[in-house]
Structure 1
């Protein structure tokens, strides 16, 4: 089944459905962990981006050879809607504009580092658990 290409309409529908779910989950996290980027580290944005990157690492391994709509649904849709590079960027700019330059720099670098580590950890752990090279 994985060899069959998915039609553009089916891919778009999968991305839309997944994106709705991911965006709703992101909104929920923002409600549970509200923040003002001008007063400190935006922990909720950092958390969703790190968790999303960990899950994309897991997905890359588990989706290989599976249904052709799995990656668009879960990767582009759910995780793309859940994670938020735009909010991260705005948070860095707002922190810098409010004079918290060290916090802005640490947050900018820390988010990128945590994203890279999370993706790598997700891939590594999933390969180990699933017994894949």
Structure 2
């Protein structure tokens, strides 16, 4: 059990560092599109969780620590609904309702599509 906890903690640390670095890079290069970093990590995270879920269904022998470390730790740290919510609210507060609506739709629909795509990749 301690190995699983350690794997989740390590994965979470790496995932949050990737998200933090992505956010800083996007904000420094494209400050008007600050929300793009959250959208990108959420879509990539959805693609990855779909792929890993399908892969782990086909390979049940993969150790629980690796599965939990990747799916709960890394992807849990990488993606975030709270940042998505704050980004959407900031866009609305700045009078950018069309962008906020597009961003929310792209995040939700894109996330579902990316998760499906990731799962489908495992069936190829």
TM-score range, shorter chain: 0.7 to 0.9
Task: Tell me which residue corresponds to 2:52.
Answer: 59
Higher relative contact order (CA 8 A, sep 6+): 2
Normalized per residue, the structure richer in helix is: 2
Where structure 2 has 5 or more consecutive residues not aligned to the other structure, the ranges are none
| Alignment partners' CA distance in 2, 1:78 and 1:41 | 22
Task: Tell me which residue corresponds to 2:35.
Answer: 42
* Matched positions, count: 119
Alignment counterpart, residue 120 of structure 2, candidates 93, 117, 124: 124
Alignment counterpart, residue 112 of structure 1, candidates 108, 115, 122: 108
Shift of 1:17: 0.7
Task: Tell me which residue corresponds to 2:13.
Answer: 20
| Alignment partners' CA distance in 2, 1:118 and 1:94 | 25
Where structure 1 has 5 or more consecutive residues not aligned to the other structure, the ranges are 1-6, 129-133
1:16-75 residue CA offsets vs partner (Å, 9 max, x unmatched): 111001111111211221155xx4461111111000110111110222302111221000
8 Å Cα contact 1:61/1:123 also seen in 2: yes
Larger radius of gyration: 1
CA gap 1:41/1:102 in 2 versus in 1, 3 angstroms:
farther
